[in-house]
């Protein structure tokens, strides 16, 4: 449903086009829709624009808005439309397409000032409806006509628009905050990961500090899962194409898979998922109902095709490590398994400092594997479990994957943004495809239930989200470097070394470079080091350290008291 | 140099051929050389043989030997030879080849009894020189004529032969012992790893117990390396072909690499090595001499082509995880780095229970990268370090890889067999190819030294060797399951649970199946569980456990004493 602000945004796109027409005569016009938080318009310009041109266009737009220009709608025949847009090649292309689709129908055009556009509307009646202080042009980008890279590149100008200035300012502030938290920038600044052209897009390399962070998280997960009855497995990154044919991936998922690798005249595929491997492990011996539930967990690195244009830092990559698990159980165990999994999963997410979640239940889509009966039963069980755990959720009707219904958990970060991480999915497909079975109490062969679940989603995505959530200032237990020790001068280095030795069970770095103390402290704060210890004469005398944390001076502290403090912090996962 | 036993082995091959000629008239003869520990002969037989035929052939051989048959050498022209072997198509083929190579020279033939063979010799003079109780026919295998799969498949019979019966028995015993320790058999029996036809040959899947074992080793390595100044990194499994062109792998290593994967019209390769990634990490910023040495470590899974015929359990696979490290240092740091690395490496290997090592120094081969000067310097440094550490070594002249000299450490297992695991290699190639540099104390750009090293070699290979070394009975700290608790009857289950809870920091399994105690104990011993605790009335009364370890009853032990005992064992990595 279109709201008033959507209509204003759409009309602002036209006003921007009018301004461009007046400022840059001879411009060609592509399309200009309203989008989330604003609008854009694609222009074919005679010369290129710089961001510094935006204020000029914005100023022109404000002048035009103040004229209280009317939006006039006209219904015209396609022949008439062709006459109106005779100098506008992109519009003519659109009209011709409309002709082909529905030759007899008419089209609508909207005029505002001297700018006329082929447009379905709706629009505001007059520019006086526009809150003049609540919009802003934000950026210029290249955009292929119709999004097709074979076409000409146009100049896209983006704008944002809100109902009032307060909303605009709020949005700008959030943007500014989000930019500061951009994990791509932080990852570079904190030396966590890198990219390399010669290696390839979407393939992160984890630098030492990032690899330590990964290790901490992976280690924590391992301990958590093992002590909760999961069994660890490790599987290869490639498998014969035959496996993917059996599993159905070759049919249903091929566009996300890379091209085959030939080995001895057979074709092998990089794995896009770990599931078939876990199924093979299950199938490696006869299973009894007494063996179930079986919970296989793996940190499995998978490779999936993404267009280079959509790659984005760690949150959209071509290779990533899923914290993947498959739970295989009897029908009787189903709801307990789901409840246990959900509860444990939410606990783990909370440990990482996330407090709010939005839960979505996705039901049967049009194309599906399995029977309606099994879908209904599974969906009912999911609802039952969500209700039992008193978890609020929204239903996404028909939003399930073809192989079963699912629960998705989106975590809210400190800016209130939602990130899809956890997914718990039924699978009616693989147990059938791979003829999975167990022997029940009566000695009868039955098909088990199988649940996929990724809790953090992937190490890459989750670490990206963590960095944005904490703006890089990771809690002590996760910080790759927990403490910096800064001796005031060279005569304090011996004591600093002694402090370092006492802290040897933590991740500590000595900062004894020949730099001013304030420069080293500032550097530590930029590096988001949880604790910066400065030591000088006074500290030596009292066997203390001067503690700085989160840009604040916490004063002198006895060394053993400080050790106790951080030990406790780490134990409590703070 | 041929020794007497080599000659006897060769002559035994002829005697076996003679026996086959007498037992299976009309047989065709391929070749029959002496090999390590024995001999074989390839036969073209009219009907197939079974292992049960071997004693018959062996009996015949002994009869022939007892006749004190003479080996008579004759030099004949090739025309004469063709006449002699007119019914032997394989021999004729060999004679024709000899013709082509050297048309005028003569050939030698050896006759023994009625069997005459085209053969260079030498042979024994008479069969009475053969120790009649010191040989044995061992197996039958198919072998393509000249090893070419386009040719006909012949029947190869293998035999072993020694100087006396004692040597033969020793060898047979070792073989028997080695068979019991075959890691492929143990891996299946102990449920550590599996293979699957549909996934592909040479691609192991780690089952839960195997994955735990891997995790323990990986975790230990991580801690060891981090606390020794290594930095952890994680890199992708694929990279653009351009990277492998720059690194030289595409030129020098292509036959070990899989075929390219196409992504967006670019070609990507599964990585056969981690080196170029670590170089990229080094090159990601400007390095100063103050930053060096840098020691990057990764558990990097690489994929290398191996012919399906040579694949062998975990010790020869197509995908494996190297415990890879690259040390980048200044020339001045070189010998300290090497010494530190070697010393630390040997300590780690000893921790895993290996006590003897054979060390090899491999020097400049014919084709090499870098300058003779740098090779000489590096080789001299390697020798200097080996001498400084008082390590005995053998020199393999010309055995280095093209990019630099190396030290290999072969570990000796409990049967005295050698396994190549550790390698420490110089690299003169990559620093140049990737223009690696650091700024020295005078502000001048210099090229650093780079050392590759894999300590365990790969997780797969090393675990294979560990299993063979320990015959599957891994030491406590490595055992995937450390303790089984067996309650005598159902009324002892509560106490058993209490024991399990007290042992919760160890890897413990409850065995309360409805089976006899002796059956459960035997099963635990077959599963090589380090400690099996049986609990009944007496144990409950005295808060004890009855301890079995390594097939021995260690008697009753107070629970807290037992906990102390295994804690100590784990701490000491026993």
Give the 3-state secondary structure of residue A371. Answer: coil
Residues of chain B in contact with residue A264, where contact means CB-CB under 8 angstroms, are 307-308
A210, A234, A280 ranked by CB distance to B211: nearest: A234
How many Å apart are CA A94 and CA A74, to the nearest integer?
17
- State the smallest CA–CA distance between residue A205 and chain B in angstroms: 5
User: What pLDDT digit, counting tens, does each position of A234-265 carry?
Assistant: 999 999 999 999 999 998 889 999 999 999 88
A198, A204, A219 ranked by CB distance to B242: nearest: A198
pLDDT tier for residue A1 given thresholds of 50, 70 and 90: low
How many Å apart are CA B43 and CA B153, to the nearest integer?
9
Q: pLDDT at position B102, please?
A: 85
Give the 3-state secondary structure of residue A376. Answer: helix
Residues of chain B in contact with residue A263, where contact means CB-CB under 8 angstroms, are 200, 258-259, 305, 318
The pTM of the full predicted model, rounded to 2 decimals, is: 0.87
Q: pLDDT at position A103, please?
A: 82
Q: pLDDT at position B1, please?
A: 57
Helices A208-226 and B208-226: crossing angle, nearest 10°? 140
pLDDT tens series, chain B, 574 aa: 578 999 999 999 999 999 999 999 999 999 999 998 999 999 999 988 999 999 999 999 999 999 999 999 999 998 899 999 999 999 999 999 988 888 888 999 999 999 999 999 899 999 999 999 999 999 999 999 998 888 999 999 999 999 999 999 999 999 998 899 999 999 999 999 999 999 999 999 999 999 999 999 999 999 999 999 999 999 999 999 999 999 999 988 899 999 999 998 899 999 999 999 999 999 999 999 999 999 999 999 999 999 988 999 999 999 999 999 999 999 999 999 999 999 999 999 999 999 999 999 999 998 888 889 989 999 999 999 999 999 999 999 999 888 899 999 999 998 889 999 999 999 988 999 999 999 999 999 999 999 999 999 999 999 999 999 999 999 999 999 999 999 999 999 999 999 999 999 999 999 988 899 999 999 999 999 999 999 999 999 999 999 999 999 999 999 999 999 999 999 999 8
Alpha helices in A42-150 (DSSP H): 54-66, 78-84, 89-101
Note whether B233 contacts A205, CB cutoff 8 Å.
yes
B234, B264, B305 ranked by CB distance to A263: nearest: B305
Q: pLDDT at position A139, please?
A: 94
Which of B149, B196, B271, B278 to probe by mutation at the A interface, max A CB count within 10 Å?
B196
- Lookup: tokens for A241: 């194409």
B263, B301, B305 ranked by CB distance to A305: nearest: B263
Q: B238 — contact with chain A (CB < 8 Å)?
A: yes
Are the beta carbons of B474 and B214 closer than 8 angstroms?
Answer: no
Residues of chain A in contact with residue B254, where contact means CB-CB under 8 angstroms, are none
How many Å apart are CA B157 and CA B13, to the nearest integer?
9
Q: A258 — contact with chain B (CB < 8 Å)?
A: yes
Give the 3-state secondary structure of residue B278. Answer: helix
Q: Is the pLDDT of residue A185 over 80?
A: yes
Average pLDDT over residues A443-450: 96
Are the beta carbons of B48 and B85 closer than 8 angstroms?
Answer: no
Q: Which helix (H) or strand (E) holds B63?
A: helix B54-66
- State the smallest CA–CA distance between residue B236 and chain A in angstroms: 6
How many Å apart are CA B504 and CA B102, to the nearest integer?
76
Which residues of A are the active-site residues?
A: 275, 304, 322, 324, 326, 406, 452
pLDDT tier for residue A367 given thresholds of 50, 70 and 90: confident
Q: Is the pLDDT of residue A233 over 90?
A: yes
Note whether B239 contacts A199, CB cutoff 8 Å.
yes
Note whether A198 contacts B234, CB cutoff 8 Å.
no
- Lookup: tokens for B422: 């550790």
How many Å apart are CA A105 and CA B547, to the nearest integer?
90
Q: pLDDT at position B367, please?
A: 85
Q: pLDDT at position B451, please?
A: 95
Q: B281 — contact with chain A (CB < 8 Å)?
A: yes
The residue of chain A nearest to residue B197, with distances taken between CA atoms, is A240
Q: Is the pLDDT of residue A134 over 90?
A: yes
Please, which residues 56-85 of chain B have a Cβ atom closer than 8 Å to chain A?
none
Average pLDDT over residues A389-408: 93
Its ipTM equals: 0.87
Q: A174 — contact with chain B (CB < 8 Å)?
A: no
Q: A87 — contact with chain B (CB < 8 Å)?
A: no
Q: A199 — contact with chain B (CB < 8 Å)?
A: yes
How many Å apart are CA B125 and CA A3, to the nearest integer?
107
Q: Is the pLDDT of residue A5 over 90?
A: yes
The residue of chain B nearest to residue A269, with distances taken between CA atoms, is B261
Q: pLDDT at position B368, please?
A: 87
Are the beta carbons of B332 and B343 closer than 8 angstroms?
Answer: no
Q: A270 — contact with chain B (CB < 8 Å)?
A: yes
With CA atoms as reference, report the closest residue to A407 among A332, A316, A338: A338
Q: Is the pLDDT of residue A493 over 60?
A: yes
Note whether B237 contacts A303, CB cutoff 8 Å.
yes
With CA atoms as reference, report the closest residue to A274 among A296, A241, A245: A296
B199, B222, B226 ranked by CB distance to A236: nearest: B199
Residue B205 backbone class (left: φ over 0; alpha: ψ -120 to 50; beta: rest): beta
Q: B214 — contact with chain A (CB < 8 Å)?
A: yes
Which residues of B are the active-site residues?
A: 275, 304, 322, 324, 326, 406, 452
How many Å apart are CA A205 and CA B234, to the nearest integer?
6
With CA atoms as reference, report the closest residue to A62 among A22, A16, A4: A16
- Lookup: tokens for A516: 């001013």
Question: Which H, E and C letters describe B108-173, residue by residue?
Answer: EEEEECCEEEECCCCCCCEHHHCCCCCEEEEEEEEEEHHHCCCCCEEEEEEEEECCCHHHHHHHHH
DSSP 8-state symbol, A109: E
A215, A270, A281 ranked by CB distance to B205: nearest: A281
Q: Is the pLDDT of residue A3 over 90?
A: no
Residues 6+ apart with CB under 8 A from B100: none
């Amino acid at each position: 449903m279109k709201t008033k602000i959507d209509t204003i945004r759409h009309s602002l796109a036209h006003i921007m086009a009018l301004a461009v027409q007046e400022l840059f005569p001879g411009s060609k016009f592509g399309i200009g829709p309203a989008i989330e938080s604003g609008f854009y318009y694609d222009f074919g310009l005679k010369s290129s624009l710089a961001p510094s041109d935006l204020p000029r266009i914005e100023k022109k737009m404000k002048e035009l808005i103040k004229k209280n220009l009317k939006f006039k709608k006209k219904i015209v025949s396609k022949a008439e439309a062709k006459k109106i847009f005779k100098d506008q090649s992109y519009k003519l292309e659109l009209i011709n397409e409309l002709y082909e689709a529905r030759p007899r129908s008419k089209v609508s055009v909207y005029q505002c000032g001297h700018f006329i556009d082929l447009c379905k509307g709706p629009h505001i009646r007059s520019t006086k409806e526009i809150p003049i202080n609540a919009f802003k042009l934000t950026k210029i980008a290249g955009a292929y006509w119709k999004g097709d890279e074979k076409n000409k590149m146009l100049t896209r100008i983006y704008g944002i628009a809100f109902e009032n200035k307060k909303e605009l300012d709020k949005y700008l502030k959030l943007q500014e905050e989000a930019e500061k938290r951009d994990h791509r920038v932080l990852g570079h600044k904190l030396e966590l990961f890198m990219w390399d052209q010669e290696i390839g897009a979407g393939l992160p390399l984890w630098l030492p500090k990032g690899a330590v962070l990964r290790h901490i998280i992976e280690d924590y997960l391992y301990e958590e899962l093992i002590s909760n009855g999961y069994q660890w497995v490790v599987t290869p990154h490639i498998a014969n194409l035959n496996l993917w044919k059996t599993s159905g991936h070759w049919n249903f998922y091929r566009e996300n898979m890379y091209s085959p690798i030939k080995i001895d005249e057979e074709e092998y595929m990089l794995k896009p998922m770990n599931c078939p491997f876990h199924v093979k492990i299950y199938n490696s011996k006869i299973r009894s109902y007494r063996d179930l539930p079986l919970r296989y967990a793996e940190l499995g690195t998978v490779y999936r095709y993404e267009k280079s244009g959509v790659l984005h830092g760690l949150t959209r990559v071509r290779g990533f490590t899923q914290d993947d698990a498959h739970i295989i159980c009897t029908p009787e165990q189903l709801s307990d398994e789901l409840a246990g999994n959900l509860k444990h999963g939410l606990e783990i997410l909370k440990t990482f400092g996330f407090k709010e979640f939005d839960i979505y239940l996705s039901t049967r889509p049009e194309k599906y594997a399995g029977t309606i009966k099994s879908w209904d039963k599974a969906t009912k069980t999911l609802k039952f479990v969500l209700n039992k755990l008193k978890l609020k959720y929204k239903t996404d009707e028909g939003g399930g994957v073809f192989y079963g219904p699912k629960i998705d958990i989106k975590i809210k970060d400190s800016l209130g943004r939602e990130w899809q991480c956890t997914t718990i999915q039924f699978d009616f497909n693989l147990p059938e495809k791979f003829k999975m079975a167990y022997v029940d109490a009566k000695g009868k062969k039955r098909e088990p239930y199988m649940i996929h679940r990724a809790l953090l989603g992937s190490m890459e995505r989750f670490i990206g989200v963590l960095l944005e959530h904490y703006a890089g200032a990771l809690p002590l237990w996760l910080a790759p470097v927990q403490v910096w020790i800064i001796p005031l001068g060279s005569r304090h280095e011996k004591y600093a070394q002694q402090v370092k030795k006492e802290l040897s069970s933590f991740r500590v770095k000595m900062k004894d470079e020949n730099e001013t103390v304030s420069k080293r402290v500032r550097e530590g704060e930029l590096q988001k080091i949880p604790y910066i210890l400065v030591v000088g004469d006074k500290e030596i005398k009292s066997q203390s350290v001067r503690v700085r944390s989160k840009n604040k001076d916490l004063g002198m502290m006895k060394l053993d008291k400080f050790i106790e403090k951080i030990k406790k912090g780490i134990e409590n996962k703070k």
